[in-house]
């Protein structure tokens, strides 16, 4: 005890710090009914993008921006688009789909001249495409069994219902019907019933039977990836994957983006 008395001040400071953290967590639990761990994760996620890594529930909260153009590139304005999967292969388009893409990308096609300018919502999976460069915000709300993704583009959103099955016959919609669950540090999102009026990367068609599986996880203190696997035997000869990469930019805020230039 004699030795401890010399360190009394430091121990008290440390304990006060611990008390404050615990109190904040307790307050969060009392006010919002969060679980202790979730409350702590929320308090920490709001403060620092470099926490909550390596990952798992609570690690995806925050505002994310495109880290880089992805391997599925649209090409330069004076170029034909080149589509490349994670494995470096061209998209396995069935002949009808390849023709559609060719018809939609005449010489001089500029990928910017697409649905963005016609104020058409993108839906999935284009919505998470990093060619957009607009931020998105992931909000984990486990008490509501939901993860919400807010897009700056068109002020659109996705609702991912956690730990649930798809309903028996979901009506096709732009974002599709999305359910998710955690596998260790990875959020697995399963999407079906995406309206065939949405596209992949603006020009690639898909059928209403497309099955999209995303594996989303933290890859570093301020980075995240979304590895998407697209399975649609009516459009592609085999499933294929592309990975979108995101990072946190300090001080980034979501801006309103209501499209005002309808065609």
- Residues 21-60 within binding reach of another protein (CB under 8 A): 22-23, 25-26, 28-29, 31-43, 46, 52, 55-59
Nearer to another protein by Cβ, of 19 and 133: the residue is 19
Q: How far is the CB of 118 from another protein (least distance, A)?
A: 8
Our CB check for another protein shows the closer of 22 and 76 to be: 22
Q: Which of the ranges 66-74, 87-95, 237-245, 250-258 carries the binding residues for another protein, by CB under 8 A?
A: 250-258
- Using CB under 8 A as the binding rule, whether residue 260 contacts another protein is answered as yes
Joined together, the tokens standing for residue 261 give 């230039």
Q: Decide if residue 246 touches another protein (CB under 8 A).
A: no
159 scored as a contact of another protein (CB under 8 A): yes
- Residues 189-218, interacting with another protein (CB under 8 A): 195, 197-198
Residue span binding another protein (CB under 8 A) among the ranges 81-89, 92-100, 151-159, 219-227: 151-159
Which of 108, 117, 133, 143 binds another protein (CB under 8 A)? It is 143
- Window 168-187: residues binding another protein (CB under 8 A): 170-171, 173-174, 177, 184-185
Q: Which is nearer to another protein, 37 or 68 (CB)?
A: 37
Number of residues this chain uses to bind another protein (CB under 8 A): 73
* DSSP-assigned letters across all residues of the chain: -HHHHHTHHHHHHHHHHHHHHHHHHHHHHHHH---HHHHHHHHHHHH-TTSS-S-STTSS-EEEEE-S--SB----TTS---BB-TTSPBP-B-HHHHHHHHHHS-TT--TTSSTTTTT----TTGGG-TTS---EEEEEEGGGTEEEEEESGGG-EEEEEET-PPPSSPPPBSS-EEEEEEETTEEEEEEE-B-TTS-BTTTB---TT-EEEEEEEEEETTEEEEEEEEE-TTTBSS-EEEEEEEE--TT------------
Q: Return the residues of window 61-100 that contact another protein according to CB under 8 A.
A: none
């Amino acid at each position: 005890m004699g030795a401890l008395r010399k360190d009394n001040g430091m121990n008290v400071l440390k304990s006060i710090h611990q008390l404050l953290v615990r109190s904040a967590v307790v307050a969060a639990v009392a006010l919002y009914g969060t679980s202790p761990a979730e409350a702590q994760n929320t308090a920490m996620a709001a403060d620092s993008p470099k926490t909550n890594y390596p990952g798992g529930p609570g690690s995806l909260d925050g505002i994310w921006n495109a880290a880089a153009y992805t391997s599925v590139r649209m090409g330069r304005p004076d170029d034909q688009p080149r589509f490349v999967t994670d494995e470096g292969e061209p998209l396995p388009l069935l002949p009808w789909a390849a023709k559609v893409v060719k018809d939609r990308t005449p010489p001089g096609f500029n990928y910017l001249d697409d649905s963005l300018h016609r104020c058409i919502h993108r839906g999935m999976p284009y919505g998470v495409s990093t060619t957009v460069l607009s931020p998105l915000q992931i909000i984990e709300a486990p008490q509501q069994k939901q993860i919400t993704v807010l897009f700056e583009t068109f002020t659109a959103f996705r609702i991912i219902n956690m730990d649930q099955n798809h309903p028996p016959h979901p009506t096709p919609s732009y974002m599709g019907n999305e359910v998710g669950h955690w596998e260790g540090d990875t959020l697995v999102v399963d999407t079906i019933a995406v309206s065939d009026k949405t596209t992949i990367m603006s020009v690639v068609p898909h059928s209403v039977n497309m099955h999209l599986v995303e594996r989303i996880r933290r890859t570093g203190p301020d980075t995240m990836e979304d590895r998407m696997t697209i399975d649609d035997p009516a459009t592609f000869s085999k499933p294929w994957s592309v990975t979108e990469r995101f990072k946190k930019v300090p001080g980034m805020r979501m801006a309103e983006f209501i499209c005002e230039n309808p065609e």
